[in-house]
Structure 1
Amino acid sequence: MLQLRDLPSKAVLDKFSARYPEADVSAVSSFLHLLRVASDLSLALDACLSQHGLLQGRWWVLILLMREDQGVSLPSVLAEKAGVSRATMTGLLDGLERDSLVERIFDTDDRRRVSIRLTAQGQEKLDQVMPDYYTRLRHCMSGVTEAERAVLNDILHKLNVGMAAFDVAK
């Protein structure tokens, strides 16, 4: 993924808005800054997880399974919750199974039906990763007050609603 390291100045944005009158300079500036922070956070999370032999995709699958009763879910449900294709989920599950972090449980009546279960090793892996993750997250967010976090959550919710403007199917 390409990451914009050099955010444009107000003067540059003003230049663009002179050419493209649809441009709202403050909206563009805020949007680009949010993208930059989100990219940096994603890279930082990957660096943290890599110290534990994981990347985000595999980690999220383990988290999703831990959230389920008895740590069991269907691959299609995991794909939906993770926002990935079934094929991508199959690849993630193959790697997690190879590392004994999850196991496939085949239905005795229909071997085509399979569930995924978090193994004891998978839970141990999460028990190693999560304290480090939560410590880093707490430090990352320490400069943001509870009131500011509430405002941030409200803003992010509004942005999520507004994201429909990027829907190309419209």
Structure 2
Amino acid sequence: MDILEQKHLSLLDEAKRRGQSDLGTMRLCFEVLSLASAIDRSCALRLAEHNLSEGKFVVLFLLRDLVQGLAAHELATRAGVTRATITGLLDGLERDGFLARHSDINDRRKVSVRLTEKGQTLADQLFDQHSQWIASLFSSLNGQERELLSSLLQRVWQGLDIAPEQGSDQS
């Protein structure tokens, strides 16, 4: 069984056909990409059981301990998404009964977003489960191996022309 996705195998075959000498490093890159894709797919499946995307989960998490809620634009900033994206995420979460929008009694233009009881319960339950699942992904590595892997990944980052994203637009 090969852990690489078919597209990566095809690219490696073409590189081999063209006589490129760095097939091992290409394969390693594709292994990292395949692992990231597999983690994303697994995450999506786990959250889909609760009618959530990763973006919706992040919103629940951000609102989890904020009884007073947050303004939508502040949620967008903290989640690392655009205002348009946050609107869609909030609409879906509100439709599913996980949050509600509340107008400010002094200024009706101000709206705060707060979790409902249903949303709070789900956020509490899922945050613990999701955190444990994420931690389990690398639990077969000992502390020294995790430090080494982290160090190696940081070295690869240094070779890129761009810096790591501080947030990405996910829905």
- Normalising by the smaller structure, the TM-score range is 0.7 to 0.9
Residue 101 (structure 2) pairs with residue 101 (structure 1): no
TM-score by length of 2: 0.73
Q: What is the total number of aligned residue pairs between the two structures?
A: 159
Correspondence 1:150 to 2:152: no
Structure 2: which 5+ residue stretches go unaligned? Answer: 165-171
- Selected match of 2:116 from 94, 115, 119: 119
Higher helix share: 1
SS of the residue aligned with 1:165?
Answer: coil
Cα distance in 1, alignment partners of residues 70 and 132 from structure 2: 28
CA RMSD of aligned residues (A): 3.1
Task: Check whether the contact 1:65–1:71 (CA below 8 A) recurs between aligned residues.
Answer: no
| Superposed counterparts of 1:30-109, under 5 Å | 30-66=28-64, 69-70=66-67, 72-109=69-106
Partner of 2:67, secondary structure, is helix
CA contact (8 A) 1:17 1:24 kept: no
Taking the aligned partners of 1:37 and 1:148, their CA distance within structure 2 comes to 17
Structure 1: gaps spanning 5 or more residues: none
**Letter in structure 1 aligned against 2:5:** R
Distance in 1 of aligned mates of 2:123 and 2:115: 10
In structure 1, the residue matched to 2:107 is 110
Deviation by residue 1:11-36 (Cα, 9 ceiling, x = unmatched): 64355574xxxx96555333322221
The question of whether the paired residues in 2 share the 8 Å contact of 1:58 and 1:96 is answered with: yes
Mark the CA change 1:30 to 1:49 in structure 2 (over 3 Å): closer, same or farther: same
Q: Distance in 1 between matches of 2:163 and 2:135?
A: 32
Matched with 1:13 is 15
Q: Which residue in 2 is equivalent to 1:140?
A: 137
Determine the C-alpha separation between the residues in 1 that align with 2:158 and 2:112: 33
Conserved 8 A contact 1:14-1:25: yes
Structure 2: how far apart are the matches of 1:128 and 1:106?
28
Of the two structures, which has the highest relative contact order with CA contacts closer than 8 Å and spacing of 6 or more? 2
Matched-pair identity in %? 32
TM-score of the two chains, using structure 1 as the length reference: 0.73
